[in-house]
């Protein structure tokens, strides 16, 4: 396809968008090329335009009331997902869709969720996914170019922003971004439940990320907690908190050691990550690139199909564990 031409998938997406606008014809003002009437009416009238009145405390209460009600509601939750990268977001989408009855709490250390999936690789914008991961793109409605054994999303941010929008719109999913998981809540295994000295994960310990990053220069900034019977950890292999949960399992002597991510082998890496997404210790499922640190899987480099499908599998595992 020549550069600049739009693919059949993109044509389809554009036609769908245009037909939606046409259906809303009553809302569309004449001669405004498709903007809806309320917005179109503002244009050209900026001299008489002004915002409705407000008091600063009203804005403060609008934010704090909701945030602290959410914190209260999510102090006890059904499933925590640590990390809102491509794997964590795919897990949240799948869980939120399959189990609207479950309360799902996403904890993301960055102000901006999305992890490494805002760019395709070496800061280039297009994102490659190998089939059959195009099934996830179709599911969430991300247009792509079909190039045979793989597909290409024109900008990685289109994938991440679409999945993020779908997840944030779900009533049973709450994202706490700029918030780090800085420890795991544990319970000793019941008699006969597992090895002596083993633990079950029963939730996460959190703090605002900027606080978590300054424990060395401030004392006693104690954390908050979220109790949950199931935790999915998708903290990746990069960044200040990468592979957080598996490193903590080693320091808690629940894992002998990490095998460490191996060199890049695109062909092998992605199958291994998806197939090995699993419950590592009771109550804790690990997916995405964090998993490569445990198993010594190869890295796959700039292809994201395994992240999406590892997230789908992590969701499936979480439902299995939750329903036990």
Closest approach, Cβ 278 to ligand 48N, in A, equals 15
When binding is defined by CB under 6 A, the residue of 85, 143, 203, 283 that contacts ligand 48N is 85
Question: 289 labelled as ligand-binding?
Answer: yes
Closest approach, Cβ 5 to ligand 48N, in A, equals 28
When binding is defined by CB under 6 A, the residue of 164, 181, 249, 281 that contacts ligand 48N is 181
Closest approach, Cβ 242 to ligand 48N, in A, equals 6
> Smaller CB distance to ligand 48N: residue 28 or 109?
109
Rounded to a whole number of angstroms, the CA Rg of the chain reads: 22
| Distance, CA of 201 to CA of 256 (rounded, Å) | 17
Residue with tokens 């009855």: 101
Residues 237-240: contacts with CB under 8 Å, at least 24 apart? 237/261, 237/289, 237/290, 237/292, 237/293, 237/299, 238/116, 238/289, 239/109, 239/115, 240/109, 240/213
Provide DSSP, 76-121.
B-SEEEE--SHHHHHHHHHHHHH-TTS-EEEE-SSSS--TTTTSSB
Closest approach, Cβ 276 to ligand 48N, in A, equals 13
115 binds ligand 48N (CB under 6 A): yes
> Smaller CB distance to ligand 48N: residue 6 or 157?
157
When binding is defined by CB under 6 A, the residue of 83, 96, 229, 282 that contacts ligand 48N is 83
- DSSP assignment, residue 128? E
Whole-Å CA distances, 155 to 4, 158, 270, 324: 14, 5, 21, 40
| Distance, CA of 37 to CA of 60 (rounded, Å) | 31
307 binds ligand 48N (CB under 6 A): yes
| Distance, CA of 130 to CA of 280 (rounded, Å) | 26
When binding is defined by CB under 6 A, the residue of 79, 96, 244, 274 that contacts ligand 48N is 244
Binding residues: 87, 108-109, 116, 181, 222, 237, 289, 299-301
- Known binding site for substrate: residues? 87, 108-109, 116, 181, 222, 237, 289, 299-301
Which residue ranges make up the site for ligand 48N (CB under 6 A)?
82-88, 107-110, 115-117, 180-181, 234-236, 238-239, 241-242, 244, 264, 288-290, 299-301, 304, 307
């Amino acid at each position: 396809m020549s550069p600049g031409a739009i693919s059949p998938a993109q044509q389809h997406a554009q036609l769908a968008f245009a037909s939606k606008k046409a259906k809303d014809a009553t809302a569309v003002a004449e001669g405004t090329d498709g903007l809806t009437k309320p917005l179109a009416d503002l244009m050209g009238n900026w001299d008489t335009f002004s915002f409705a009145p407000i008091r600063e405390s009203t804005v403060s209460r609008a934010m704090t009331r909701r945030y602290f009600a959410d914190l209260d509601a999510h102090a006890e939750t059904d499933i925590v997902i640590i990390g809102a990268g491509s794997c964590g977001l795919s897990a949240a989408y799948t869980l939120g869709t399959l189990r609207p009855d479950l309360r799902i709490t996403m904890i993301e250390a960055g102000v901006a969720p999305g992890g490494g999936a805002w760019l395709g690789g070496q800061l280039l914008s297009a994102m490659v996914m190998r089939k059959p991961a195009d099934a996830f793109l179709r599911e969430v409605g991300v247009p792509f170019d079909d190039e045979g054994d793989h597909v290409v999303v024109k900008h990685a941010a289109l994938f991440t922003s679409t999945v993020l929008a779908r997840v944030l719109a779900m009533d049973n999913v709450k994202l706490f971004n700029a918030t780090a998981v800085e420890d795991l809540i544990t319970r000793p295994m019941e008699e006969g439940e597992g090895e002596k000295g083993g633990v079950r994960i029963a939730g996460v310990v959190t703090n605002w990320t900027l606080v978590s990053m300054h424990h060395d220069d401030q004392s006693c900034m104690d954390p908050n907690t979220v109790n949950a019977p199931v935790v999915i950890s998708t903290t990746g292999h990069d960044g200040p908190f990468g592979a957080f949960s598996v490193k903590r399992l080693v320091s808690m002597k629940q894992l002998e050691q990490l095998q460490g991510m191996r060199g890049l082998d695109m062909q092998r890496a992605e199958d291994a990550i998806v197939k090995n997404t699993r419950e590592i210790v009771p109550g804790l499922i690990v997916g995405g690139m964090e998993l490569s640190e445990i198993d010594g899987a190869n890295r796959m480099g700039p292809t994201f199909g395994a992240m999406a499908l590892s997230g789908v599998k992590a969701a499936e595992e979480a439902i299995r564990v939750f329903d036990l």
